[in-house]
Amino acid sequence: MPAHRTARERARAELTAEIKDEARRQLADKGANGLSLRAVARELGMVSSALYRYFPSRDELLTALIVDAYNVLGDTLDKASAGGGSPAERWRAAANALRTWAHTHPHEYALLYGTPVPGYRAPHDTIAPGGRVPGAFLRIAHDAWHAGGAATDDQLDETLRGQARTIAEALGLGDLPDAVVLRAVDAWTQLFGTVALEFTGQFANTLDPADAYFARAVELQLRTAGLG
Amino acid sequence: MPAHRTARERARAELTAEIKDEARRQLADKGANGLSLRAVARELGMVSSALYRYFPSRDELLTALIVDAYNVLGDTLDKASAGGGSPAERWRAAANALRTWAHTHPHEYALLYGTPVPGYRAPHDTIAPGGRVPGAFLRIAHDAWHAGGAATDDQLDETLRGQARTIAEALGLGDLPDAVVLRAVDAWTQLFGTVALEFTGQFANTLDPADAYFARAVELQLRTAGLG
DNA sequence: TCTGAATCGAGAGCGCTGCTCTCGTTTACA
DNA sequence: TGTAAACGAGAGCAGCGCTCTCGATTCAGA
């Protein structure tokens, strides 16, 4: 945050932050569907139309919240996986952190990974911060490969190779072999699937509570990613 | 559908179906968020309050649509996996059918597997039809085990064993060993994770288009489920 | 230091929503 | 045939996102 030249700029930055804070509070409380611009304005003691000086629409406010949430989740995973230990330990820690975050921030999680409403979501601003989440896991795989570099010789289609390169380079892990990237992605999809299924209630009456199954799933991810 | 005794009952059943049809049309068009009771009523040439004689609330209408969508998807998967061929071939067919359905029915898919809004979703009526989807895949694993019964001796926690039993029995596959059930569930979570990530746009700029990666993921599922 | 332009908050208003309540009519059943 | 239940129409309530206008404040250049 740079120092703001004029009082007006400072006030604007502060109010923008306050709006987001209040919106985040209501999001956590009522969910994205229950987030109302008028209610936010009311709580801040202003009139609803004034809010449009700061966010041009409800969707733009939500997009800002999405970006923030991705970053908070990204920080959480970075911190969880930064602790020492083997790559396997770090993956376990990050995976559990993801699941815990989803449980403690259900509405935020739903905002990030729930109803996509094709066409709406994925304004460009969200793609980069959204990539931090799988990125945290790929980075663990990267460190593991650097340390113990197991040889891999998967047969890979050209399309996949190219996509693996794109992923690795976007994360600054350009030296990671395609096969290792893809195996880590495989493990990430497993992790995501487990969390998403539990979270959307698909485990109700069967795998619920899912602690035991989640632990099992994480071990499978480790084998998939070659961290076992 | 039993024959209806009175004209009123017949009319009620017909109108209920017409409401659901129109609602389904709007859902497919505008998404769950854009589904409006008033618009449905308008399209049907009735006044909005009359609609409440048939569905007590918007959520109840959505729940009815959810149940229907689960059943349609369940039928689709059953049909896809009913074709002959090896278990592996059937799993591939069903997995592709799931992905295709998600692409051709994005709003329905989002309704089933998108934002859960903790507390709202999972009214009891949706649990059973929702189970048909993983059920279709577990059934393939069941048939494969019956045919070629590979021995499995995974070490399993008591909780997991119990949950595996619950799952198997709910699907009428009580003879399936716990380890086989859980491996099939593992594969299902992988499949679900892949579809969900692609669908929520998390593959944007990386694995998009995801056809090649999806094919790879399905092969991994086969190995996980022991159908390889 | 003064002035024109940009920025701001307040307020009224539009069209939409889910939902409730009342009222006159139609249908079903005893 | 009469009573009760079921029904559709209509008015209305409170809320929503968003737009537009208007007077006040603040900023920047002459």
Give me the B residues in range 2-31 that sit within 7 A (CB) of strand C: 5-9
Residues of chain A with C-beta less than 8 angstroms from the C-beta of B213: 160, 163, 182, 185
pLDDT reported for residue B116: 61
**Nearest nucleotide to A8, CA against C1' atoms:** D26
Asked whether the beta carbons of residue B122 and residue A201 sit closer than 8 angstroms, the reply is yes
Whole-angstrom Cα distance, residue B213 to residue B215?
Answer: 5
Average pLDDT of chain A to the nearest whole number: 93
* Whether residue A184 has pLDDT greater than 70: yes
Question: Which of A115, A157, A178 best probes binding to B when mutated, by most B CB atoms within 10 angstroms?
Answer: A115
* Whether residue B118 has pLDDT greater than 50: no
Q: Apex CA B186: angle with CA B181 and CA B188, to 5°?
A: 95
Residues of chain A with C-beta less than 8 angstroms from the C-beta of B186: 190, 216-217, 220
Whole-angstrom Cα distance, residue B212 to residue B209?
Answer: 8
A33 touches strand C (CB under 7 A): no
Q: Sorting pLDDT into bands at 50, 70 and 90, what band is B1?
A: very low
| Chain C bases near protein CB atoms (7 A cut-off) | 7-13, 16-22, 27-29
Q: Which amino acid is at B94?
A: A
**Nearest nucleotide to A11, CA against C1' atoms:** C8
Q: Sorting pLDDT into bands at 50, 70 and 90, what band is B2?
A: low
SS3 letters for chain A? CCCCCCHHHHHHHHHHHHHHHHHHHHHHHHCHHHCCHHHHHHHCCCCHHHHCCCCCCHHHHHHHHHHHHHHHHHHHHHHHHHCCCCHHHHHHHHHHHHHHHHHHCHHHHHHHHCCCCCCCCCCHHHHHHHHHHHHHHHHHHHHHHHHHCCCCCCCCCHHHHHHHHHHHHHCCCCCCCHHHHHHHHHHHHHHHHHHHHHHCCCCCCCCCCCHHHHHHHHHHHHHHHCCC
pTM of the model: 0.95
- Residues A51-89: tens digit of each pLDDT: 999 999 999 999 999 999 999 999 999 999 998 899 999
A122 touches strand C (CB under 7 A): no
Asked whether the beta carbons of residue A207 and residue B167 sit closer than 8 angstroms, the reply is yes
A100 touches strand C (CB under 7 A): no
| Chain D bases near protein CB atoms (7 A cut-off) | 6-12, 15-21, 26-28
pLDDT reported for residue B122: 62
Question: Which of A173, A191, A205 best probes binding to B when mutated, by most B CB atoms within 10 angstroms?
Answer: A205
Asked whether the beta carbons of residue A194 and residue B189 sit closer than 8 angstroms, the reply is yes
* Whether residue A117 has pLDDT greater than 50: yes
Q: Sorting pLDDT into bands at 50, 70 and 90, what band is A228?
A: confident
**B98-CA/D18-C1' distance, Å:** 39
Q: In the structure, how many helices (H) and strands (E) does chain B have?
A: 10, 0
**B46-CA/C22-C1' distance, Å:** 18
Question: In sequence order, what DSSP letters do the residues of B199-219 get, joined into one string?
Answer: HTTTTTTTT-S-HHHHHHHHH
- Residues B145-173: tens digit of each pLDDT: 999 866 677 789 999 999 999 999 999 99
Question: Which of A121, A158, A202 best probes binding to B when mutated, by most B CB atoms within 10 angstroms?
Answer: A202
Asked whether the beta carbons of residue B216 and residue A32 sit closer than 8 angstroms, the reply is no
Average pLDDT of chain B to the nearest whole number: 93
Give me the B residues in range 91-150 that sit within 7 A (CB) of strand C: none
Whole-angstrom Cα distance, residue B60 to residue B51?
Answer: 12
Asked whether the beta carbons of residue A110 and residue B121 sit closer than 8 angstroms, the reply is no
Question: Which parts of the protein come within 7 Å of strand D, by CB position?
Answer: A 5-9, 35-39, 48-49, 52, 56-59; B 8, 11-12, 15, 45-50, 53-54
pLDDT reported for residue A1: 44
Q: Sorting pLDDT into bands at 50, 70 and 90, what band is B228?
A: confident
Asked whether the beta carbons of residue A212 and residue B157 sit closer than 8 angstroms, the reply is yes
Domains plus CATH for chain A? 1-56 (1.10.10), 59-225 (1.10.357.10)
The answer to whether A23 and A60 are in contact (CB under 8 A) is no
Return the biggest CA–CA distance within chain A: 63
More confident residue, A228 or B109: B109
Joined tokens for residue A35: 């987030």
Q: Sorting pLDDT into bands at 50, 70 and 90, what band is A180?
A: very high
**A41-CA/C12-C1' distance, Å:** 17
- Residues B31-69: tens digit of each pLDDT: 999 999 999 999 999 999 999 999 999 999 999 999 999
Q: Which amino acid is at B175?
A: D
CA of A216, closest CA in chain B: separation in Å?
9
Let me know how long chain A is.
Answer: 228
- Residues B204-219: tens digit of each pLDDT: 999 999 999 999 999 9
Residue B60: φ, ψ to 5°: -65, -40
